[in-house]
Structure 1
Amino acid sequence: MTMTEQLHALGSILAQGSLHSLFQPIISLSERRILGYEALSRGPSNSPLHSPLALFCVARQAGRLNELEIACRQSACKRFSEQALPGKLFLNVSPESLLETTHQPGRTLQMLREYGIAPSQIVIELTEQAPTDDFQLLQTALHHYRDMGFSIALDDLGAGYSSLRLWSELRPDYVKIDRHFIDGIHQDALKREFVGSILQIAKASRAQVIAEGIELPEELAVLTEMGVDLIQGYLLCRPQEHPPIEARLMLAKPDSTSVSLNEDASDLSALLNEQPAVAQDTATAKVLEAFRSQANLNSLAVLDGRGQPIGIVHRHSLSDVLLKPFATDLFARKPISRLMSDDFLAVELSQSLQQVSRLLTSRARQRIEEDFIITQNGNYLGLGRVIDVLKLITELKIQQARYANPLTLLPGNVPIQQCLTRLLQQQRESVICYVDIDSFKPFNEMKGSVLRKNRQNDTPMFYLGFSGNEAELRAHLDDESVIDEENRT
């Protein structure tokens, strides 16, 4: 197809408004709900510019990129509004279009008014396809969007020309990790290190990480274990004109038959405190009285009319506000929604203790006295305490160290018997695999001799993976009967 024909096809698409808008959900694992949708544009199905790569490449070459992006934005807003899709709308914008002299500020805001979409629902997703030199001008443009109430996302982190500098300069609300680092992450330790570093930087910059391009259950499992909460990809849902509006339709139900030797329970029942909640229109004075009458009450969840949490009130935060001069008189009759915090963690009852622990540690502002909310299918059940999570995690680690084989770190007879007993009591249908490894005794003896040799040479032994400290390991090694007993087992 000649360049002239491509330009003609582009002109026809823009003149006729024949773009197609598809939507791909972005899901919050902790809340099991849809955070929002990324809008993706396509040309007409019978057009040589159906592919977005060809469509935007031709527009860039023709100097009509800004015009095309505005048309895509309008189509996405219209379809999003018509379907009344929940959550946020992620709109792709290239930095070069923002820096074009023909770019007209205010067009997007006018468009949102036309389709009845609140600015707080819009996330400007910055997609870097070409080098960006004028960071100051780009920062000014994005501050303009922020002032209008939009959020900012940085797309394809790790793939662009200067994405790390963009992150540092622009401080986005969301950061999307490039698909390259998600692909096969369960088989690539270096990719896991990269994603782990991104999570640490995001924690410091108070940005939320979105893992996009997830296609395999193994990838999702690793990302979940690492503490990634926001996910997107073909495994969950392909881009569609009419996407699902409920996350449960895309998330696999928790496997009620799975049993972990590392956890005492398959859900968070042990952490659940069935504390009462308050409605969002409850007077502040009534909430204050509840705290005064219950000395051990640290937090109260705030619910909407459907019984779903929309905020949380912490005792210390409420006290800090009401200690200010005239604050009690000013807020006493106001609804508690005025003083609640919407920066809260809500987890599903079916999630594991390890998952909740990672979510808590990934929250930069989480305080040990602040509670988190436990839900079931999005509905409020009760509260959980951070200190209880720490206690249970510590107990599990101690139990693992006590009963694990010091050489292989495999579970010993006690946790295996506990697991079998639990399965029998719960009458679960289960499969047990017994593996008999030939010549394992010489291998075990060789590892034992290596440990003893390293002890004599004062060589650090932590690389062997022992879960205790050095003193505990030396205590094991000083008792030759421990090694002999393990060899006989």
Structure 2
Amino acid sequence: MDNVALQTSLKKFPREARAEILDLSAPEIWLRDLRDNINFAFQPIVNIHTGACYGVEALLRGYEDLGFDKIPDVFDYAHHNGMLHKTEITLKEMSISKFAKLEMDHFVRLFLNIDNRVLDSADYRPGQTGRLLRKYGLSLRSICLEISERHEVSSGGNTSKVLEQYSERPYKLALDDFGTGYAGLKVLYDYHPDFIKIDRYFINDIHIDEKKKIFLSNIVSLAHVLGITVVAEGVETEHEFLTCKEIGCDLLQGYFVQKPTLDLNKLNSSYHQISALNSRDRRAVGDDRKIIDEQIENIPALKFNTPMYEVFDIFRMNKHLTFFPVIDENKEPLGLVCENDLKYYTYSMYGKELILNKAYSKTLMDFVSNCPVADIRMGAEKIIEIFSLSKNPDGIIISDSFRYVGFLSASSLLRVINEKNLTYARDQNPLSKLPGNNVISDYVAQTLKNLDRSMTMIYFDFDNFKPF
């Protein structure tokens, strides 16, 4: 069917019949029409504290021209006709090839949705993602695969095996639409994703919905204890943004930052409206960063690909340390390697030789254990809460814009609490027990730093406030 005849036919029939007109049942025609009609829009995912672009999500566009009303209909059709795996590979290559052309002044990740039904496909073959990334000159760590809760993730069969394989690879994993699909907590427990993306349902009007606040607060606390990063998805208003930030979400995505765009040139390395709003947020004034900075221990971090013989040497040369943080090539923390986990190999007769044997194929990542991570901009109370809920007795990793900066041990956290209490005592009015002039002076000084805008301050002084 030529293009003129095709367009004429499309006008005569309702949209739900267009797929039949296009004769998409033939795999080669289906894949060709995907390449001809589908494009990808990218939407930024940004650091909720700084506005720096952390990654972009690839979103399907042009599906209407193939006769579908919604994006899921494309994959339902492919699944029904036994072409889901081929469809996934074709679309994945299209999005990766476009992402490879994106120019940023720092490392960003591609968040790419996968239909989890493909994991149970009879023709599923692992390794295709790595092949495509190498083809376009991208790092294996530059992609995050989003697993949606729209379809149930089976506990047996190929799905669980493939997810386990993904978790052992350098790719990041995200659980999309968290809270509205199938067995979210079960998948969270079984497969330990790197990210969870909170569904828009729980973000909408969260600033006026106490139940949503309670739900999200507990999910964020659980995720941080497990070392999982939380993305607030579908944020559309300033109030929603401020509430998600206050609760402790790490990343932000939605129309409030930027709508999805087909034009790569419209994506920014940093979204200054977020950083500007943070600087104006009165709740952020008087944060605990100075206190935390003073207590951070600068324990050197090991790169994820450090050879095991070097790991043994580092432990031997630093006898006062019983663990080291492990980071990836972008300095993002991956967890801890602890001396106790190496003792079996260190003290057994041939253990060390065995682990250094390349045929045995043990690497540093095989010994990395989870450790809670907190951003340095979090309040001291939030960091202590994350640590108190964790079973890791060593402490908590501190990051700045997702990059490792140091470690807070249990003793350091006690000093943070003590310093925080002293700060409260200094700031309190001895009669009313309310914040006194120090807090007011700090707020005025912080506000005056923003010289790029005009402002008005009103000072209230209540007469007869004290009963004596």
TM-score range for the pair, normalised by the shorter chain length: 0.5 to 0.7
Distance in 1, matches of 2:334 and 2:112, equals 30
Distance in 2, matches of 1:147 and 1:97, equals 19
Say whether 1:268 aligns with 2:289. yes
**Residue in 2 that maps onto 1:471:** none
**Residue in 2 that maps onto 1:15:** 32
Superposition deviation, residue 269 in structure 1: 3.4
- The one-letter code sitting in structure 2 at the alignment partner of 1:235 is F
Superposition deviation, residue 43 in structure 1: 2.0
**Residue in 1 that maps onto 2:211:** 190
**Residue in 2 that maps onto 1:152:** 173
- The one-letter code sitting in structure 2 at the alignment partner of 1:357 is I
Superposition deviation, residue 108 in structure 1: 2.9
Say whether 1:386 aligns with 2:413. yes
Q: Is the 8 A contact 1:120 1:149 kept in 2?
A: yes
Query: Cα deviations across residues 60-115 of structure 1 (Å, max 9, x unaligned)?
Result: 55554433322221211111223266333322122222223243333333323322
Q: Is the 8 A contact 1:257 1:428 kept in 2?
A: no
**Residue in 2 that maps onto 1:80:** 99
- The one-letter code sitting in structure 2 at the alignment partner of 1:7 is E
Query: Cα deviations across residues 10-30 of structure 1 (Å, max 9, x unaligned)?
Result: 836631413212222333446
Say whether 1:395 aligns with 2:422. yes
Say whether 1:6 aligns with 2:19. yes
- The one-letter code sitting in structure 2 at the alignment partner of 1:392 is E
Q: Is the 8 A contact 2:51 2:272 kept in 1?
A: no
> Equivalences for 1:319-358 in 2 at 5 Å?
347=375, 351=377, 353-354=379-380, 357=383
- TM-score scaled by structure 2? 0.67
**Residue in 2 that maps onto 1:100:** 121
Distance in 1, matches of 2:439 and 2:220, equals 34
Distance in 2, matches of 1:171 and 1:369, equals 20
Distance in 2, matches of 1:379 and 1:185, equals 29
Superposition deviation, residue 300 in structure 1: 10
Query: Cα deviations across residues 154-178 of structure 1 (Å, max 9, x unaligned)?
Result: 2112211333333333333322221
- Within the candidate set 417, 420, 425, 2:437 is matched to 417
Choose 161-170 or 43-52, whichever is displaced more: 43-52
Say whether 1:116 aligns with 2:133. no
- Within the candidate set 181, 199, 219, 2:240 is matched to 219
**Residue in 1 that maps onto 2:276:** 253
Q: Cα 1:6–1:403, aligned 2, differ >3 Å: closer, same or farther? A: farther
Query: Cα deviations across residues 267-297 of structure 1 (Å, max 9, x unaligned)?
Result: 62354349989798999999899979xx9x9
Query: Cα deviations across residues 227-266 of structure 1 (Å, max 9, x unaligned)?
Result: 2213322222322332635245463236556666x96x45
Distance in 1, matches of 2:323 and 2:126, equals 43
Say whether 1:89 aligns with 2:110. yes
Q: Cα 1:62–1:298, aligned 2, differ >3 Å: closer, same or farther? A: closer
- Within the candidate set 115, 139, 161, 1:140 is matched to 161
Q: Cα 1:420–1:170, aligned 2, differ >3 Å: closer, same or farther? A: closer
Q: Is the 8 A contact 1:368 1:387 kept in 2?
A: no
Q: Is the 8 A contact 1:227 1:359 kept in 2?
A: no
Q: Is the 8 A contact 1:74 1:111 kept in 2?
A: yes
- TM-score scaled by structure 1? 0.65
- The one-letter code sitting in structure 2 at the alignment partner of 1:417 is N
Distance in 2, matches of 1:226 and 1:196, equals 6
Q: Is the 8 A contact 2:380 2:416 kept in 1?
A: no
Superposition deviation, residue 369 in structure 1: 6.0
Q: Is the 8 A contact 2:47 2:250 kept in 1?
A: yes
Q: Cα 1:269–1:97, aligned 2, differ >3 Å: closer, same or farther? A: same
Choose 47-56 or 88-97, whichever is displaced more: 47-56
Distance in 1, matches of 2:176 and 2:152, equals 14
Q: Is the 8 A contact 2:113 2:147 kept in 1?
A: yes
Distance in 2, matches of 1:289 and 1:30, equals 39
Superposition deviation, residue 392 in structure 1: 3.4
Distance in 1, matches of 2:180 and 2:93, equals 27
**Residue in 2 that maps onto 1:71:** 90
Choose 357-366 or 18-27, whichever is displaced more: 357-366
- Within the candidate set 258, 261, 264, 1:240 is matched to 261
Residue 22 of structure 1: SS of its match in structure 2?
strand
**Residue in 2 that maps onto 1:479:** none
Distance in 1, matches of 2:334 and 2:161, equals 34
Q: Is the 8 A contact 2:141 2:171 kept in 1?
A: yes
Q: Give the unaligned 5+ runs of structure 1.
A: 331-337, 406-410, 442-484
Q: What percent identity do the matched residue pairs reach?
A: 21
Q: Cα 1:109–1:191, aligned 2, differ >3 Å: closer, same or farther? A: same
Distance in 1, matches of 2:271 and 2:227, equals 27
Distance in 1, matches of 2:181 and 2:405, equals 43
Query: Cα deviations across residues 134-185 of structure 1 (Å, max 9, x unaligned)?
Result: 5444212322333444333221122113333333333333222211111111
- The one-letter code sitting in structure 1 at the alignment partner of 2:138 is I
Superposition deviation, residue 401 in structure 1: 7.6
- The one-letter code sitting in structure 2 at the alignment partner of 1:99 is D
- The one-letter code sitting in structure 1 at the alignment partner of 2:62 is G
Distance in 2, matches of 1:359 and 1:352, equals 11
Distance in 2, matches of 1:114 and 1:194, equals 42
Residue 55 of structure 2: SS of its match in structure 1?
strand
- The one-letter code sitting in structure 2 at the alignment partner of 1:83 is L
